[in-house]
Amino acid sequence: MLLVVDVGNTNTVLGIYRGKRLAHHWRLTSGNRTSDELGLALLNLLSAAGLTREDISGAVVSSVVPPMDLPLKEAIGLYLDKEALFVSSSLDLGMEIRYKAPHEVGADRLVNAVAGVEVYGAPLVIVDFGTAITLDVVSPDKAYLGGTISPGMALSMEALFGKTSKLPKVALEAPESVIGKTTMESIQAGIMYGTAGMIDSLVRRIWNETGQRTKVVATGGQAQSVAPYSETIDAVDPWLTLEGLRLIHERNRGKTAE
């Protein structure tokens, strides 16, 4: 079985693949932890799933938090006796990267592009709702072109509340009307409908620049919450990143990368 780990700035998502099937998955809060803390956490998760370290045949990691890379690598090595494959632009992704500086592309964005093409074909736009909201564009010939990076919903809310002492914190859910009748509804309308509108505007600009309408797939923590209010998102795939990790591991089995 394969351990897949997607380390984000806010959350770390882990999964266990049994062949091509995602058998188990967990979402943890990202944060500074020692290799021992991470190793014990991994063993506890495996135990909760009825698995042991001997059941794990390999590990692959996508990380956008460099301080976590070494502790996680050591944890997987010491506690699972496996050398983790870390995703980077130098790996065989089965995809040309037409970014001006390929090494600057976040590993999660590359992983999403690989999975998106495999599952949905090309051309394609992938929207990932994380700490930042990213849109990534794949060309008709399956090359990674680049995309956009915007503040995520939670980040926007934190900035709003941090600068406005009288505004209440609210749940990330859409009110019935875009015209909020209370302060809470007004904030929710601005965040939810505003995010959907931003995504639709960016997608349409991408379509105009590329000269073609593409399929749009959303993934990440708030994808299912925002997608119903978007006019351009066609599908929601919550485990797209984990699937991309599995595919990249298949292509690069036996290799390691920093």
- Give the tens place of pLDDT for each residue, 11-41: 999 999 999 999 999 999 888 899 999 999 9
Nearest to 239 by CA among 9, 20, 85, 31: 20
Name the region of 254 (left: φ>0; alpha: ψ -120 to 50; beta: rest): left
pLDDT one-digit tens code per residue, 111-170: 999 999 999 999 999 999 998 999 999 999 999 999 999 998 888 777 777 666 566 667
Considering only 9-13, 212-216, 245-249, which range has the smallest mean pLDDT? 9-13
Predicted confidence (pLDDT) at residue 108 exceeds the cutoff of 80: yes
Domain 102-241, CATH: 3.30.420.40
> Which regions of the chain carry the CATH code 3.30.420.40?
2-86, 102-241
Say if residue 51's pLDDT is above 90: yes
Active site residues per annotation: 108
Q: What is the pLDDT of residue 255?
A: 60
Give the pLDDT mean for 97-110: 94
Residue 106 predicted with pLDDT over 70: yes
pLDDT of residue 163: 63
Residue-wise over 110-134: b if at least 16 C-beta within 10 A, else e? bbbbbbbbbebebbbbbbbbbbbbb
Per DSSP, the three-state class of 130 is coil
CATH no. for 2-86? 3.30.420.40
